[in-house]
Structure 1
Amino acid sequence: MSQSIVSVDHLSVRFGTSTVVDDVSFAVARGESFGLVGESGSGKSTILRTIMGLNHDWSGDILVNGVPARGTGRREFATQVQMVFQDPYASLHPRHLIGAAIAEPMHIHGIANAKSRTLELLRLIGLGEEFAYRYPHELSGGQRQRVAIARALALSPKLLLLDEPTSALDVSIQAEILNLLNQLRAEMGLTYVIVSHNLAVISYCCDRLMLMQNARQIETLTRQQLVDRDLTQPYSQEFLAASTQ
């Protein structure tokens, strides 16, 4: 893809003697939402962590905005791509006010007007300005995940990596977060790479998806192919059947 914001080419990741991602390749266009789906342990979350620079024993090529991920300084990289983790409570310091947590990346990068930007982000994610003066334990799980999204947007990246962003939430709250993500993507021109074991989440949010099994990519599909059950691989058919039971 000539307009790819992230390109992964022949990526393999090892933990000791174990290969946890084995020769995986894909590219994501600007403004696209791309899903990585599969059973636990299939390697999908490891791919996100490797793109973010959190894994070091890997081979292949990763380009973000056409620049090798290995060769980009961490501060510059943070302005291009951010990650939202599965557990919204663990990603927030329990003794830091919500406003401080959102503003911290802006202070680190010397961005002016961090306070006003923090309040703007709180409004953007559907929380009032008063939440800036609350602690994480005073928020519900869905509210904490909204804050985690706001923090990820603090440096105005165009690419968000979302690792099981709704799996720790109640089903009714999951829908709210997914709708928020779709809204933010449309309004801000964001690109997503979303990891989930839940095919319904991926089909709701993603234009395309890649199914993984045992560290390897099995099949890449459009949302319409998924709806039409236009699947070529036996594992894809089994996974879809299990997901719709």
Structure 2
Amino acid sequence: MLFDWFTIGAQIVNFLILLWLLKRFLYGPILRAVDSREAAIAQRLREADAARDAAEEERRALARDREGFAEEKRQLMEKAREDVQTWRESAEERVRGEVEARRERWLESLSAEQAEFERALAERVAREVVSVSRRVLTDLGDADLEERLAEAFLREVRERRGAAVSGRVTVGTGADMGPEAQRRVAEGLRSVFTEVTEVDFTQASELGFGMRMETGDTRIGWTLSGYLEGLEQRVLDELAATPQGGMA
């Protein structure tokens, strides 16, 4: 029997090529897929073990927390019982102290009411005196009072000698002033503030019996109302400083 060695050799080559193709395109991917799946399963098993360990650790931590909470609760209850006992022991003493304090305040209020009545009476008398003085001075608006107003205003100006005043200034007056009074005020301003060049006079009825100089940010004035308010406050301060027994 004769063999066709060429044919046999060609079949062997074809078979080997087939084996290589099967390994390259079939068995290789299958094996890689199997390996990948096994690796994924192994990773999931490791994650499951880690999760189980974490759950166990969390369970132990919760058990420790429960024990700690129980101990803390016991301590809080013990402290609450001690606080209640302390409150019970001091409650009666506090009540007695409060009753005694109220009694003392009541006795003090009797004396304070008398002193307050005397103070209020003196304050009302002082305000009435100042009020009457204000009405009298307002009604006496003659030339002599103009001179006195100018003197009072210039006295206030001299007390502010250090102020920075220069150039043109405006003097407002609550009532009409005669030329002589205006001249005196202007000369007085120039003698105090040597850099003043001009003095203008204007009507300012809101000042009442008073005068006010304005220039830039500087304002200097004197009013009867302000003076009497200051007088009223000084009288009240004197009365407040007087001992309670001094009015008896």
- Flag whether TM exceeds 0.5 (same fold): no
| Higher strand proportion (structure 1 or 2) | 1
TM-score of the superposed pair, with normalisation by structure 1: 0.20
Larger-Rg structure: 2
TM-score of the superposed pair, with normalisation by structure 2: 0.20
